[in-house]
Amino acid sequence: MELHLHRVDYTQVGVTSQKTMRLLPALGKKATQKVAIADQDGVITCFGMKKGEAVPVFKTLPGPKIARMDLGGAAGTPQEKIFVCSGSQVRGFTKKGKQFLTFEANLTESINAMHVSGADLFVCASYIYNHYCDCKDQDYFLSGDKINDITCLSSEKLPHLVPVLACQDRVLRVLQGSELAYDVEVPGPPSVLELYNKDGGQEVLYGTTDGKIGLVQIGDCAAVTRWEIENEKKKGGILCIDTYDITGDGVNDILVGRDDGTVEVYGFDSSSEPALRFEHVLTESVTSIQGGCVGKEPYEEVLTATYTGWVTGLTTEPERAEAVQGEEVRMSKETQCKIEALRAELEQLQVKVLQGREQYQQTSQSSTAVSAVPIFSINDKFTLCQDDASYSLTLEVQTAIDNLLLQSDVPIDLLDVDKNSAVVSFSECDSEQPNGNFLLATYRCQANTTRLELKVRSIEGQYGTLQAYVTPRLQPKTCQVRQYQIKPLSLHQRTHSIDPDRPMNRLSLVGQFSFAEIHSWVVFCLPEVPEKTPAGESVTFYFHNTFLGTQLEATYCKGEGHFKSDNISTISILRDVLSKEATKKKINLNISYDIDDDSVSHTLQMIHPKLEYQLLLAKKVQLIDALKELQVHEGNADFLIPEYRSVLDESANLLEEYKKQPAHLERLYGMITDLFIDKFKFKGQNVKTKVSSLLDILDSYDLNSLLDFFNEP
């Protein structure tokens, strides 16, 4: 069943955070619902729609940034009390805007997730979870990794409220009181949780930062995954989820908002599997999503709030038919009044802008005037994409971006992004100089671009900093700098388990270092490791290399660290970086290693299909020009063998793929060369003189010849 929704913009508030908009329950069966939304200026706005106009119910004064909003109320009554958190404080407002609660949680960090259920308040701040009942402390839990969201199950089958935490280390933690009952492994770092049935039940929806969605049924001592939706089209990460029956089939549909502006509605077919029913793309990230009736009853809609504060509805109300050219258009009085009001408002705004510009020109020439730097907020995300082993850098600004300068002190490749329409230009770099640059690239954005997505690929073993200088179209010109660490093992990603049957190389460190010190070294080396030192005496993390598929196990405690990997180069990088970090702290390390020769051929066999594919792609691309010339000369391509005809037919796709993967072949050659050097380095031999012979073998590549060369003494 296809769903047809039409966009309506209602109002704009300040910059919003994730999950800061809610629909208040309707007063009557047919009444429209009021909208409550909070922004980063600390303002809560509540409005309703009357004759197509947003009519304010109440608006609070500015204050500290509001991070979350939830609705609550006594059990069995309409949930129409508005709760917001800012800093470590939770405030409650009635639907009329009267403040009835100010509760100071006395947490050292700001609250970033909150859930209200009757007299129970659940708050999370980075690693800490707290449960309060009637504002009195009940339970406390310290999580092993950052908490991104929280929800709470209340069901007749469950004897008490069951909190579920979405944690950055790819698990949902299910609590019982102050204790961990069990955890549920999910396929990506969960960013948002939502109950599938708002009236109770044991099913929880989750969305991940890499764009996957799933439904989990929470039991007393274990959970069952009902279904998962993969992110095959490489859309953005999930920021908000809601459930609402917008298709009118009696089954709750799933409403999804993503950080690339995509709004989706999933319905259920007869097999109880979710299917995409509707998709719409907004120009900025969707921070909140709700289902209800806002604009005009009885038309239901999907209401969204975006990063810059736009409240937009996707309504089931049918659009008026478009007029054919030359046909007379008849407008209702209501529409005419609306157009006249918009024109008047536009004229007023133009006058205001002109007055503002004149005033600015006068004050800028004054000798006593002081220039103030305009403050603007940036929403940025730097994440490793598992599918193509590249880093995605997303920058979103509340106003239009003029240009962006990227500067890196480590070698990185810039990859093409289809969604990116900015013009890029590169500057020459002198990487030989101390503190020299390897990359200087400027992106000049088109008018009204507020969101920019870039992709970069790093080289493992080369570490440093990537800096983004963001300049918006503001007067006076101002710029903000954001820094992103490129780690020594930057292409590794956390995973739940590894294959124990692979041939593994081992590295062991023993020395006078504390648990916190070795943990800080591991944080420096590897992505996705929590900065906070884990509770307990020892910890184990598992990783896999997103580029090659090799794996790493890290186990360490006070005075000891053990690392296992099927890739010698990973062990070599770890040994070099960890010994360097220990030397900085003047700590003596006793380093021992155990190298498994079978691991080298195992790694080469993992590289083999990638290398073979890239060599074949390069060969096909080289043939394209010659084949096109032959085709022009002969008039057609019928005389060519089928293999060459298919190269001509697919030439556009082949060239596009080749363009998208710059230096891919060189990257694989570099990995094989590093593997060769590292294998013999651990045996105490310097084989750098043999590298030219290795490159000759790679030019006429054959796996068996390569394996034989590696096995030569």
Domain boundaries, the chain: 15-231, 382-486, 492-595, 598-711
- Is 492-595 the same fold as 15-231? no
Return the SS3 of 706.
Answer: helix
Give the model's pLDDT for residue 52. Answer: 76
pTM, rounded to two decimals: 0.88
Q: What would the pLDDT profile of 566-575 be if each residue is shown by its tens digit?
A: 999 999 999 9
Nearest to 476 by CA among 350, 362, 360, 377: 360
Which positions ≥6 away from 667 have C-beta within 8 Å?
Answer: 413, 457, 459
Mean of the per-residue pLDDT values of the chain: 87
CATH 2.130.10.10 holds for 15-231 = yes
Write the burial class of residue 435 (CB in 10 Å: 0-12 exposed, 13-18 middle, 19+ buried): exposed
Residues 424 and 467 sit within 8 Å (Cβ to Cβ): no
Confidence of residue 638 (pLDDT cuts 50, 70, 90): low
Lookup result for tokens 């089928």 = 642
Nearest to 602 by CA among 562, 561, 569: 569
Catalogue the E-assigned strands of 607-689: none
Side-chain-side CA neighbours of residue 63 (13 Å)? 17
Q: Which two tokens stand for residue 315?
A: 């309504």
Q: What would the pLDDT profile of 366-422 be if each residue is shown by its tens digit?
A: 777 777 777 888 999 999 988 888 899 999 998 899 999 999 999 898 888 877 788
Element (H, E) at 216: strand 213-218
Q: Is the pLDDT of residue 321 over 60?
A: no
Q: How far, in Å, CA of 139 to CA of 175, rounded? A: 10
Tell me the H-state helices in 462-567. 515-525
Q: What would the pLDDT profile of 411-460 be if each residue is shown by its tens digit?
A: 898 888 877 788 888 888 877 777 778 999 999 998 888 899 999 989 99
CATH code of the region 492-595 = 3.30.160
DSSP character for 688?
G
Q: What would the pLDDT profile of 139-157 be if each residue is shown by its tens digit?
A: 999 998 999 999 998 766 6
Which positions ≥6 away from 682 have C-beta within 8 Å?
Answer: 568, 572, 593, 595
Give the model's pLDDT for residue 664. Answer: 78
Residues 567 and 573 sit within 8 Å (Cβ to Cβ): no
Q: Is the pLDDT of residue 124 over 90?
A: yes
Q: How far, in Å, CA of 542 to CA of 169, rounded? A: 11
